[in-house]
Chain A
Amino acid sequence: QKEVEQNSGPLSVPEGAIASLNCTYSDRGSQSFFWYRQYSGKSPELIMFIYSNGDKEDGRFTAQLNKASQYVSLLIRDSQPSDSATYLCAVIPGAQKLVFGQGTRLTINP
């Protein structure tokens, strides 16, 4: 079982709709969870982080964490074509270094 798993997609969402990206992790001791956005041919950039169960909102982005079920999700409201990118989930398992999922490719259709 991979430490961090994401559906590789592609995920296609119409413009203006809500895009929902999911990530599961295997280490119950994981404490810190991150979402990075990566445009094609570019480097990743951190867009959200969450440490506690529940929701964390930042503009159009909401991160949701459920430690009991070992999943973390990212919601993008009012999706824009500029949101089209690969979204990487990253987790710190226990006291180790950051582990990345394989990423979900998101396409927003005008």
Chain B
Amino acid sequence: DGGITQSPKYLFRKEGQNVTLSCEQNLNHDAMYWYRQDPGQGLRLIYYSQIVNDFQKGDIAEGYSVSREKKESFPLTVTSAQKNPTAFYLCASSNRGQGEKLFFGSGTQLSVL
């Protein structure tokens, strides 16, 4: 089945630690996105990539980093510079030119120990 796989489902971060969230898609989509969702809030864009080896900052990129070495994969690293990382992280993908019709992964809940 085609889809987007995020892992892990739950992740805990210690002070000063970098953690990486995985996102893999087999939909053959060109564009991939990372969103953050805080309780009772909408989605805020962290980073997006429209093509391999290229990515752009979203509205809240500080404290995060990404890479896009393969079309299928778009991992997100939450660095120690991100002082308030507790949130639900959603990865999404779309066909080029249909950036509004997003397909989402199941999400990763990140918490701070």
Does B42 interact with chain A (Cβ within 8 Å)? yes
Contact assessment for A98 and B104 in the assembled complex, using a CB-CB cutoff below 8 Å: no
Cα distance A16–B41 in the bound complex, in angstroms: 28
Selected contact of B100 from candidates A6, A43, A98, A103, CB within 8 Å = A98
Residues of the B chain whose Cβ atoms lie less than 8 Å from the Cβ of A4: 42
Residues of the B chain whose Cβ atoms lie less than 8 Å from the Cβ of A92: 99-100
Residues of the A chain whose Cβ atoms lie less than 8 Å from the Cβ of B43: 44, 88, 100
Does A60 interact with chain B (Cβ within 8 Å)? no
Pair count A-B, CB < 8 A: 45
Query: Scoring A residues 65 to 93 as 1 if CB is less than 8 Å from chain B, else 0, what string do you get?
Result: 00000000000000000000000101010
Contact assessment for B42 and A101 in the assembled complex, using a CB-CB cutoff below 8 Å: yes
Interface size, B (range): 10 to 19
Q: Which residue of A is nearest B109, CB measured? A: A41
Does B58 interact with chain A (Cβ within 8 Å)? yes
Selected contact of A43 from candidates B40, B44, B104, CB within 8 Å = B104
Contact assessment for B105 and A90 in the assembled complex, using a CB-CB cutoff below 8 Å: no
Selected contact of A97 from candidates B40, B99, B106, B107, CB within 8 Å = B99
Known: A8-B40, A97-B45. A46 touches B106 (CB 8 A): no
User: Closest approach, in angstroms, between the C-beta of A102 and any C-beta of chain B?
Assistant: 4
Q: Which residue of B is nearest A31, CB measured? A: B100
Query: Scoring A residues 92 to 110 as 1 if CB is less than 8 Å from chain B, else 0, what string do you get?
Result: 1000011011110000000
Contact assessment for B42 and A88 in the assembled complex, using a CB-CB cutoff below 8 Å: yes
Cα distance A44–B45 in the bound complex, in angstroms: 14
Selected contact of A45 from candidates B41, B44, B104, CB within 8 Å = B104
Known: A43-B90, A43-B105, A44-B90. A49 touches B40 (CB 8 A): no
User: Closest approach, in angstroms, between the C-beta of A80 and any C-beta of chain B?
Assistant: 23
Contact assessment for B42 and A102 in the assembled complex, using a CB-CB cutoff below 8 Å: yes
Chain A interface (Cβ within 8 Å of chain B)?
Answer: 4, 6, 8, 32, 34, 42-46, 49, 88, 90, 92, 97-98, 100-103
Give the top 7 A-B pairs by smallest Cβ distance, nearest first.
A100-B42, A43-B104, A100-B43, A102-B42, A43-B107, A101-B42, A102-B41
